[in-house]
Amino acid sequence: MSLERFLSQVVPVRQKLYRFAYRLLGNEEDAQDITQDALMKVWDMQEKMAELQNTEAWCMRITRNLALDKLKSRKYRRHDDLDHAGEVAASHQSNPYTVSEQNDVMSKVHATINALPEKYKTILQLRDIDGHSYQEIAEILDLEMNDVKVNLHRARKAVREKLQNLQVYGI
Partner 1 sequence: MEYKVISELLEKYWEGETSLEEEATLREFFSSSHANLPPELLEAAPLFQYLHIESEKQLSWPEEETKAPAAKVVKLSPFRHWMKYAAILLMAVGIGYTFQHRGERQATGDFAYQSDLDNPKNALEETKKALKLLAKNLNKGTNQMQKISYFNEATEMIEGKN
Interface residues with partner 1 (CB under 8 A) are: 14-15, 18-19, 22, 28, 32, 35, 105-106, 108-110, 113, 125, 127-131, 133, 149-150, 152-153, 156-157, 159-160, 163-164, 166-167
- Closer residue to partner 1, CB minimum distance, 37 or 52: 37
Distance separating alpha carbons of residues 20 and 25, to the nearest angstrom: 9
CA distance 160 to 120: 13
Residue type, 149: K
Q: State the nearest-atom distance from the C-beta of 154 to partner 1, in Å.
A: 9
> Nearer to partner 1 by C-beta: 45 or 150?
150
CB of 82 to partner 1, least distance (A): 19
Tell me the closest approach of the beta carbon of residue 47 to partner 1, in angstroms.
Answer: 26
Nearer to partner 1, 79 or 110 (CB): 110
Least distance from partner 1 to the Cβ atom of residue 44, Å: 21
Give burial (CB, 10 Å; 0-12/13-18/19+) of 93: exposed
Q: Which residues contact 132 (CB under 8 A, 6 or more apart)?
A: 126, 140
Cβ neighbours of residue 155 closer than 8 Å, sequence gap 6 or more: 116, 120, 121, 123, 124
Nearer to partner 1, 48 or 104 (CB): 104
